Amino acid sequence: MAPVVSGFSKLSKTDKIKWLAEHHFNNDQNAIDTLVTYWNSDHGLQQLHDEFTENTISNYYLPFSVAPNFLINDKRYTLPMTIEESSVVAAASKAAKFWQTRGGFKAEVLSTIKVGQVHFTFTGSPKKAQQFFSLIKPELFSSVSHITENMKKRGGGVIDIELRDKTTEIDNYYQLHCTFETVDAMGANFINSCLEQFAKTIQSEAKKHNDFSNTEKDIEIIMSILSNYVPQCLVKAHVSCSIKDLPHTKTLSSRQYAEKFVRAVRIAEIEPYRAVTHNKGIMNGIDAVVLATGNDFRAIEAGAHAYASRNGKYASLTHAEIKDDTFTFSIELPLALGTVGGLTSLHPLVKLALQLLERPNASKLMEITAVAGLAQNFAAINSLITTGIQQGHMKMHLMNILNQFKATEREKEQLVKYFKTNAVTHSEVVSQIEKLRG
């Protein structure tokens, strides 16, 4: 067991690694070398990475890939994707290529409102709380004018502040439910700064309020924090084509394909066990773009899954239908994204990713990201209802297995050729490697 360490954050990066090597890695030089190998040779760039977070000892690399041929609202894009899962980028690219000759993807932002809340307790009656709130609401707005000044110039700011009575759920519990427009910024710092000022203003105004008793003046602020559930920061995307233009196989006509596809999506709409995996596949595409563009994929994940549960049961984020002779596949979900602030102006690859997308504003990035999720889901369902998911996935996973066994370039070449016409399984790859090695 490692000893308690004091002042670890103040140690140099080298001394942090020495401590880890001594107490966790048995002084294994290979562990030390691995950490140092992933340092960036550019000292300035490495320092930038070191200062992103606390106790940085190395860099953790993920592939930075691109998926071309995305036709979105009649404009062609190449999407940046940061993800390690082997088949995601290939699947997205395949879906993009399929739909580019069938009208491409259509996307629109439905709304861009974000939410934050001040959670507090008040011992007086709900009627008194509402009267007090109505009285001080103008003061709440004016108290953040120094924070909102620049945001207002860009077209954003505080939209509304609402008092919500939650006393039937927790004794004396109220919320200030606040809505914001943060334009091209994700806006977390802006929202939290406004909320904390609202909290101070509530308390200071309560102490001056003549109709409150001494007990009622003691409003207790529990916390002030933005919400990552943003059901009014919505984007929708869809693809549509004539049924005759859909894929067909030896066993499925295009119409049968469409009907099977719709049934597969319908299952994800009513069966949570399927819906979770279904939506995970959607998030493969979305997270990859979110991460590549320097946005918070944890917040996006949390908000998307909450939205999938908004009707009381976890369900699919995508929907499919056949109307007359037309097949339509669509997605709707909340995406609170930013293209200014945070890593967008600091991380060199994030800046490059946004440049690749022709420097979109936040709304345009919402559309692009939603399309990535829809494309990913289309590719996954296409595989599931035809060849099965493993055929394509294991083909892409082959190289990972070969690298695991330290295959040479010659061995890789021979085995890739072999598995073009044979099913990829872990045991079969091992068997073929052993054959090659005699």
**Which tens digits make up the pLDDT trace of 78-87?**
999 999 987 8
Answer yes or no: do 162 and 258 share one domain.
no
Where among 367, 386, 405 does a domain terminate?
A: 386
- Does the residue 150 lie in any domain? yes
Answer yes or no: do 170 and 263 share one domain.
no
* pLDDT value of residue 33: 95
Answer yes or no: do 135 and 249 share one domain.
no
Answer yes or no: do 102 and 171 share one domain.
no
Answer yes or no: do 97 and 244 share one domain.
yes
- Does the residue 197 lie in any domain? yes
β-partners of residue 120 are 174, 221
Clarify whether 10 is annotated catalytic: no
Structural contact between residues 318 and 330, judged by C-beta atoms closer than 8 angstroms: yes
Give which of 36, 96, 13, 144 is closest to 375, Cα–Cα. 96
Answer yes or no: do 343 and 377 share one domain.
yes
The count of domains in the chain is 4
User: For the segment 234-269, what is each residue's pLDDT rounded down to a tens digit?
Assistant: 999 999 999 999 999 999 999 999 999 999 999 999
- Does the residue 201 lie in any domain? yes
User: pLDDT-derived band of residue 425, with 50, 70 and 90 as boundaries?
Assistant: confident
User: For the segment 2-42, what is each residue's pLDDT rounded down to a tens digit?
Assistant: 889 999 999 999 999 999 999 999 999 999 999 999 999 99
What is the dihedral angle through the alpha carbons of 410, 415, 416, 418, rounded to the nearest 10 degrees? 130
Answer yes or no: do 374 and 248 share one domain.
yes
For residue 211, give its domain range: 114-227
β-partners of residue 81 are 65
Answer yes or no: do 28 and 45 share one domain.
yes
Per annotation, catalytic residue among 296, 305, 347, 364: 296
The C-alpha atoms of residue 365 and residue 359 are separated, in whole angstroms, by 9
Where among 206, 227, 248 does a domain terminate?
A: 227
Q: Which amino acid is at 65?
A: S
Give which of 63, 65, 74, 72 is closest to 96, Cα–Cα. 72
User: For the segment 340-368, what is each residue's pLDDT rounded down to a tens digit?
Assistant: 988 888 899 999 999 999 999 999 999 99
Per annotation, catalytic residue among 75, 146, 280, 417: 280
* pLDDT value of residue 396: 62
Structural contact between residues 228 and 336, judged by C-beta atoms closer than 8 angstroms: yes
Clarify whether 259 is annotated catalytic: no
Answer yes or no: do 206 and 348 share one domain.
no
Clarify whether 393 is annotated catalytic: yes
- Does the residue 57 lie in any domain? no
Instruction: Reply yes or no on whether the pLDDT at 390 is more than 60.
Output: no
Per annotation, catalytic residue among 13, 18, 50, 85: 85
Clarify whether 85 is annotated catalytic: yes
Answer yes or no: do 268 and 412 share one domain.
no
The C-alpha atoms of residue 266 and residue 381 are separated, in whole angstroms, by 12
Task: Find all residues with CB under 8 Å of 309, minimum gap 6, and list them.
Answer: 315
Answer yes or no: do 404 and 274 share one domain.
no
Structural contact between residues 198 and 158, judged by C-beta atoms closer than 8 angstroms: no
> Residue 263 sits in a domain of what CATH number?
3.90.770.10
The C-alpha atoms of residue 138 and residue 265 are separated, in whole angstroms, by 48
Q: Is this model's pTM higher than 0.75 or not?
A: yes
